[in-house]
Amino acid sequence: MLTIGFTALALTGGVWLVLTPRVLHAALALLLTLLAVAALFVLQAADVVAAAQLMAYVGGVLVLTLFGIMLSTPGAAGPSSDAVNRLSGWALGGLTFGGMAWILAHTSFEALPWRAAASGETNAVAPDSVVAMGTDLLTTAVLPVEIASLVLLVALIAAATIAGGEPTEEEPVA
Amino acid sequence: MPYLAAYAVLLPLLVGALLLLTGERLRFVTGGLAVGAVAGSLALALTVFAQHWNAAPAGTTWAWFNVGGQPFTVGLWLDNLSVALLALVPLVAFPVFVFAAKYMRHEARYAAFFGQLLLFVAAMLALVLARDLLAAVVAWELVGFASWLLIGFWFTKPEAATAARQAFLLNRLGDLGLFVAIGALRAAAGTLDLPALTAAAPQLLTSQPALLALAGAGLLLAAVAKSGQWPLTPWLPDAMAGPTPVSALLHAATLVAAGAYLLLRTYPLLPAEVRAAAAIIGASTALWAALAAQRETDLKRVLAYSTASQLGYVFLGVGIGAPVAAALHLLAHAAFKASLFLNAGLVTHAVGHAAAPDKMVDPQDMRLLGGLRHALPRTFAAYVLAAAALVGLPLTTGFLTKEALLAGTLVWAGGAGGGGIAWLVPLAALGTVGLTARYMARHGKLIFGGSEARGVFRISQVHEAGSRAEAPLALLLPVTGLAALALWLTLAPNPLHVAPGWAARGLLMPFPGGLPEVGGLAVWLPLLSVALVGGGVWWGLQAPVPATIARPARISLAVFWHQRAPAAALGLARIVARFDHVGLDRQVLRFGKTVVVVAKLTAWTDRRVVDGAVHRLAAALGGLGRLARAAQSGQTQGYYRWAVAALLGAVAWVATR
Amino acid sequence: MLLLLSAALFALGLVAVITRRNAIVVLMGVEMLFNAANINFVGFAQADPLHAGRAWALVVMVLAAAEAAVALAIVLRVARLRGTTNLDLLTALRG
């Protein structure tokens, strides 16, 4: 029941984001979607991921986006976002969704090799403890974590460099 | 109370962090704060020293983290070696800080300077106290980082920035060795705890010889890079681009001592081959740096080369199995070298005042100095005392420790050494004694001796600066105090022999048998070395004053890295180019003529037959291009649309096949 | 259910990326694409006794954050240079 409710909420946010002509409303719609998805993560017993979702997306990305809106739109009139490519865009989106749904309907997930290997514990809802997650991140998943941290470092430097001071003729942005 | 030692580290660290974080807001109390922090650290360190010197080794351990069920710990270890260094570092740092508080007061980034300097001292103290290699590597990196900050403190000067980068990169090379060593030791013994490793060392050396050799080589590389030994020396003289107090601290008690300390700390773990390598590296650095100092004209660079040279003695001592003598030389060297560097600061300070209007001349250029003993009598007195210790005149600490080292080399070469070649090591060590005496005599003569007629900075000019000629007491006291530590009484009551002294007896505790029995050598070796020193001094006083202003040819590795190696490559390229020109070009020319004839024939066919076809093809391609151009709207989303459509198509194609 | 939601959010994100004119809304669409992928990760991790997908979901979030930072920096730069974030007016690549 809760799952259906939050799914509906997430979808509402998504549709609102696509349809609204106001950028700020779009940000609010994204917030709605992200919160609903975080709730869904909790329902999936992935509480660490949900917390990360709240912190990284709601706390970080969304705030960043709001700053972006404020800094990039001069003038008093609220930023707006018209739509282009309506027909082809919706057509492609519909095709994508239809194709994915078709694939989902026609896939037998129980036949996946790793599901077969784990057949004894199907749908075992293990509580997602922080300890287990941390162990996981430092043992089996240590390489992706390291790569992610490197990417993050590069991205931070890049973002600071790109958004940094105004470039001049004598001193081009390195 | 091992915890007390931790506070000696934390105090400078916290005050340093405070100074760095508040920017220049605390500028007006910075000097007091920093000197106070070091004084507090000194008091704590001396308390710890009094409690733990000659006591049973004590320590504490904290669990840090577990990986895969393997615990990693950090801790403090207080034995006679670490306690001695713990006392020495703030003991040298305190006068340096007092000096710097006055010397650097016009600096725009005064608080930042002291913040970095405190960080440096704290990192060094942490390294000294580290019980395990894990904590040691953290402190080690901090020492390197802080030295990078400090050498490049005047980072707007290009040579300072370059020197800092160079020092950092060469030190990183050494860090590589340390990491290798840590991995190897962990693999061999399953622990990084130094007391445990030391206790297990004899057994490990027989059971895991390959890993221990790897670890020893890594440790040696790390120490060589940190202490500026051959062939990683170039950063050491170049690091003189930093402020004078930094040079004093860096080259005396902290940075370069860190490498030697690491080697002493891990001494029982070093296999015989690594020790032999250390002895050879030490002896060659000592000799080579002493040679390089002979023709140097920069006031501070002479001292820098002598640091490399003296640290070479320390490495030599470790290599020949006389770690006590090496540690004693490290301690003695720290005091007198810091005094000499601060002394150089006094000289440039005084001369800089006199030459302020003319910014073009370099107050560190010894060719422009001279006769300063009349203008700066007290500076000169402190200089003579410290320099006497450096060259190893009797009644100084330098004499005592050098005698022990020289005797050790002779015993080593005569004993289980490697045949006739082994005698080269004591020969180099003895030769270095004479050479040291020569370059220091020349150094002193160029700065203080001679008449006032020579050079740009006349004594009269210095005198005209009035009361500022002799430095104020706040600058003079630290120099004199450090020079006073160079008297023999610091280490032993017997001015001829260090072994009965309190320091040697204390250091024999962590290194049993670390001071070779000298026997009959004790009689004639001092005589020989005094003769060598005398000869060197006499020779140095004869040294001509370099007349030209052109930079002298330096016998240095830096020259090799910067000039010789590229020059060799260029020369090779030139030879290849000549061969190319004479041999190949002619062939090419002949070939070219043939080709032209063929080409003329082909051109005719080409125009008539091929061109027609090409024109038609071009028209067809142009039509295609116009079509493609329509898709290139320049609108990102348009491109994206096409990409998604293509992806969908591809997926659909794959899925339905 | 969850996988269908993921597909739907993915499609909506795609639509947002293709149809919206404002660069920042486009970026929001990209964030939605990332989120759809994350839902998949968590959904599958639920059925996986090792829960490996959760770690990957965290990595994806890091990547999304990095993407957002860099992309917004670029948008700001473009806005300062060209005075607009309207993608229709940014056609320097026109052939």
Q: Do B648 and A92 touch (CB under 8 A)?
A: yes
Query: Which among B249, B142, B131 is positioned nearest to B195, based on CA atoms?
Result: B131
| Widest CA span in chain B | 107
Q: How many CB atoms lie within 10 A of CB B626?
A: 9
Contact assessment for residue B167 and residue B194, using Cβ atoms and an 8 Å cutoff: no
Give residue A52's pLDDT: 86
| Check: complex ipTM more than 0.95 | no
| CA–CA dist B290, B292 (Å, integer) | 5
Q: Tens digits of per-residue pLDDT, A40-80?
A: 888 887 788 888 888 888 888 888 888 888 777 655 445 56
User: Residue B635's closest chain C neighbor by CA?
Assistant: C91
Give residue C33's pLDDT: 92
Q: What percentage of chain C's residues is helix, strand, coil (to nearest 5)?
A: 80, 5, 15
Contact assessment for residue B240 and residue B304, using Cβ atoms and an 8 Å cutoff: yes
Chains with 3 or more CB pairs under 8 A to chain A:
B, C
Provide the shortest C-alpha distance from residue B191 to chain A (in Å): 21
Task: Look up residue B473 and give its two tokens.
Answer: 């007491």
pTM attached to this predicted model? 0.61
Query: Which among B284, B225, B231 is positioned nearest to B255, based on CA atoms?
Result: B225
Q: Which of B624, B627, B635 to mutate to test the interface with C (most CBs of C within 10 A)?
A: B635
Q: How many CB atoms lie within 10 A of CB B10?
A: 15
Contact assessment for residue B250 and residue B151, using Cβ atoms and an 8 Å cutoff: yes
Q: Do C94 and B636 touch (CB under 8 A)?
A: no
Contact assessment for residue A6 and residue A39, using Cβ atoms and an 8 Å cutoff: yes
Q: Do B652 and A99 touch (CB under 8 A)?
A: yes
Query: Which among B346, B280, B363, B289 is positioned nearest to B318, based on CA atoms?
Result: B280
Better-scored residue on pLDDT, A128 or B344: B344
Contacts of B632 in chain C (CB under 8 A): 93-95
Q: Which of A88, A103, A138 sits opposite B641 (nearest CB)?
A: A88
| CA–CA dist B460, B377 (Å, integer) | 14
Is the alpha carbon torsion for B129, B131, B133, B138 positive or negative? negative
| CA–CA dist B392, B402 (Å, integer) | 7
Angle between helices B209-226 and B158-189 (to 10 degrees): 160
Provide the shortest C-alpha distance from residue C65 to chain B (in Å): 21
Query: Which among A36, A15, A19, A29 is positioned nearest to A65, based on CA atoms?
Result: A29
| CA–CA dist B20, B117 (Å, integer) | 10
Q: Which of C5, C42, C77 sits opposite A10 (nearest CB)?
A: C5
Determine the distance from the C-alpha atom of residue A77 to the mean position of all C-alpha atoms in its chain, rounded to a whole number: 29
Task: Look up residue B184 and give its two tokens.
Answer: 């190897």
- The answer to whether C16 faces chain A, any CB pair under 8 Å, is yes
Burial degree of B58 (CB within 10 A; 0-12, 13-18, 19+): middle
| CA–CA dist B85, B253 (Å, integer) | 9
Q: Do A46 and C46 touch (CB under 8 A)?
A: yes
| CA–CA dist B506, B500 (Å, integer) | 10
Burial degree of B381 (CB within 10 A; 0-12, 13-18, 19+): middle
Contacts of A143 in chain C (CB under 8 A): none
Give residue C36's pLDDT: 92
Burial degree of C78 (CB within 10 A; 0-12, 13-18, 19+): middle
Q: What are phi and psi of B579, to 5 degrees?
A: -55, -45
- The answer to whether B70 faces chain A, any CB pair under 8 Å, is no
Task: Look up residue B392 and give its two tokens.
Answer: 């190893």
Spell out, as residue ranges, where chain B has pLDDT lower than 50. 357-358, 453, 466-467, 548-555
Q: What percentage of chain B's residues is helix, strand, coil (to nearest 5)?
A: 75, 5, 20
Q: Do A152 and C66 touch (CB under 8 A)?
A: yes
| CA–CA dist B496, B516 (Å, integer) | 16
Give residue A118's pLDDT: 56
Give residue B552's pLDDT: 45
Q: Which of B638, B648, B655 sits opposite A95 (nearest CB)?
A: B648
- The answer to whether B650 faces chain A, any CB pair under 8 Å, is no
Give residue B563's pLDDT: 60
Q: Which amino acid is at C77?
A: R
* Bridge partners of residue B74, in order along the sequence: B62
Strand residues in B503-637 grouped as ranges (E): none
Task: Look up residue B189 and give its two tokens.
Answer: 């013994």
Give residue B466's pLDDT: 47
Contact assessment for residue B633 and residue C94, using Cβ atoms and an 8 Å cutoff: yes
Contact assessment for residue B12 and residue B37, using Cβ atoms and an 8 Å cutoff: yes
Provide the shortest C-alpha distance from residue C37 to chain A (in Å): 11
| CA–CA dist B523, B536 (Å, integer) | 21
Contact assessment for residue B541 and residue B440, using Cβ atoms and an 8 Å cutoff: no
Residue C32 has pLDDT above 60, yes or no: yes
Q: What's the half-sphere exposure (Cβ side, CA atoms, 13 Å) at A126?
A: 19
Chains with 3 or more CB pairs under 8 A to chain B:
A, C
User: Residue B643's closest chain C neighbor by CA?
Assistant: C18
Q: Do B637 and C14 touch (CB under 8 A)?
A: no
Residue A104 has pLDDT above 50, yes or no: yes
Give residue C77's pLDDT: 83
Percent of chain A scoring above 70 in pLDDT: 76
Contacts of C26 in chain B (CB under 8 A): 637
Helices (H) and strands (E) in chain A, counts: 8, 0
User: Residue C78's closest chain A neighbor by CA?
Assistant: A72
Provide the shortest C-alpha distance from residue B565 to chain A (in Å): 30
Q: Do A89 and B641 touch (CB under 8 A)?
A: yes
Q: Tens digits of per-residue pLDDT, B309-328?
A: 888 889 988 888 888 888 88
Give residue C57's pLDDT: 86
Provide the shortest C-alpha distance from residue A137 to chain C (in Å): 6
User: Residue C27's closest chain B neighbor by CA?
Assistant: B637
